[in-house]
Amino acid sequence: MGERAAAGGGKWVDVAPERLARWLENFERRHGPYGETGLTLIAEDGATATWQTPPGAGEATTMAELIERAQQPRKIGLLLARKGAVAAGIADGPELTSSKVDRNYVQGRTAAGGWSQQRFARRRDNQAKAAASDGAGIVGRVLLPAVRDISALVTGGDRAAVEAILSAPQLAPLAAVRAERFLDVPEPRHAVLVSAVAGARAVSVLVREPA
């Protein structure tokens, strides 16, 4: 799955729950036998792999617990928002079982100055507020009825847009189960929402190669 550079060195790697055993085999083949210190693996050649439990899987203190929890069936809510576009859905394991995608026009920023700039700014602000309100309505219809069944809400897209939607008072139960993970996704469409399921379920590991 995806890889990204980590602050302070190394890289974050996202691993599908079903591929954890294979990933560990490959890590040992590349770096030699390893020992475990909590959720950190330290290989013979000095390479390390520090794991995080995925959203909604609860806490784990050993790799065996992490693998078991990551592979347990669970439902995850998803909310993606960017530039007036919103996508909400529920994933049951790797499958997206329900979803809704919508888009509201939000005017781009303008380089004009003076009164014209202020007028455009007010219009854009009103459009953004309307988009957030409509987004909150969609999220409420799709996710609120299932809030007791989902183990976590994973968000992504543009943070300001997501925060504006989740600030709606009626969505407080969803905000309460929001995971720390934030997905970097393009403008939400149905295909983007389907692809986001893998990122929401993945187990993240920080890999640092030997010096």
% of residues, the chain, pLDDT over 90: 79
Q: Which of the two residues, 25 and 127, has the higher pLDDT score? A: 25
Position 202 pLDDT exceeds 50? yes
Average of per-residue pLDDT across 31-56: 97
For 94-131, write each residue's pLDDT tens digit.
Answer: 999 999 998 864 445 544 555 456 665 555 555 555 55
∠148-154-158 over CA atoms, to 5°? Answer: 135
**Which domains does the chain show, CATH number per domain?**
3-73+202-208 (no CATH), 75-200 (3.30.420.60)
For position 105, what pLDDT does the model report? Answer: 45
Average of per-residue pLDDT across 77-81: 97
For position 141, what pLDDT does the model report? Answer: 95
For 175-201, write each residue's pLDDT tens digit.
Answer: 999 999 999 999 999 999 999 999 999
For position 80, what pLDDT does the model report? Answer: 97
For position 110, what pLDDT does the model report? Answer: 47
Q: Indicate left, alpha or beta for 157 from its phi (over 0: left) and psi (-120 to 50: alpha).
A: left
Mean pLDDT of the chain: 89
Taking the CB of residue 19, how many other CB atoms lie within 10 A of it?
Answer: 13
For position 181, what pLDDT does the model report? Answer: 96
Position 65 pLDDT exceeds 90? yes
% of residues, the chain, pLDDT over 70: 85
For position 29, what pLDDT does the model report? Answer: 97
